[in-house]
Amino acid sequence: MQQIQKNNMRCVRILFLNIVNVFELKSITFVYFLLSVTSPFTFLLFWIGVKIQKNSSFNFTEIASYYFLLIIASSLLMCHVENDIGALDIQEGGLVKYLLKPFSYLWAKFFEEVPWRILQAAMSLVTLFVILIFFGKYFSISNSAIILFLSFIVAILALLLSYMYKVLLGLLAFWLTDITGVFQLSEMLLFIFAGYVVPLYIFPKTIEIISYILPFSYMIYFPVVVIQGKLAPEGIIGVIGMQSIWLLCFYALYQYTWKKGREKYLGVGS
């Protein structure tokens, strides 16, 4: 019991040290946040143009809410730890300091990432407040307590899923000299299949089905549509099940990749 308490206190100290570090680099955080805001607003302007030019009968409030929530979801749930792992830790040798510490590399990087999500979440809340003031009539979420509770679970799993996915991307640097292309390919896949361009239900049926099979939609798209109330509780349970399956797959893949990569790193250096 005493050892568990010591480990918990160690984790808390690590978290607070990383929070201090993040606030020292808050300008970088703000730039990342602006990037997460720009894309949804750009696509929202496109839909405004469609409605004006075509006099379309689509539910504009539903579309607008989707993109407003997308701003919050993308800044809060999408992790960006892959470059630190690939470039700083593996290629530049920073991994050594983690190998000498008495706790898991996976959790160490997670506690480094959490403060970034906290700071961007604060920025998202400010943005949401502005949205409610100026665009409140175009913003709606579910008023069901059950759905809101399930939305919280979906969001937590989405955060863990995006984190594990980005960790695996970073670990590819054990075998790849240049991982920039892999990162760019990943961003393209996320852009399409995570619902950044349009809600996935607007895609042709085949692409929509593929999107629901791939893990990307469970990181961003489903947290948004769930809190919008577009899924019944049974459907949300199915989403949670798929998130859990992908999370277990990613964790198993991480265990294998970390073991093989660490052996390579310690054997020949990087």
Top-confidence range, 60-64, 66-70, 240-244: 240-244
d(CA 257, CA 244) in angstroms, rounded, equals: 20
pLDDT at residue 119 greater than cutoff 70: yes
Whether 212 and 57 have beta carbons less than 8 Å apart is answered as: no
Mean pLDDT for the chain overall: 81
Q: Which residue has tokens 């790193």?
A: 265
pLDDT at residue 177 greater than cutoff 80: yes
Output 12 or 245, whichever has higher pLDDT.
245
| CB-based burial, 161-194: b 16+ in 10 Å, e otherwise | bbbbbbbbbbbbbbeeeebeebbeebeeebebbb
Candidate from 3-12, 35-44, 201-210 with smallest mean pLDDT: 3-12
Element (H, E) at 152: helix 145-171
Domain with 80, as residue range(s), is: 2-268
**If you average pLDDT over residues 213-234, what whole number do you get?**
95
Number of structural domains found in the chain: 1
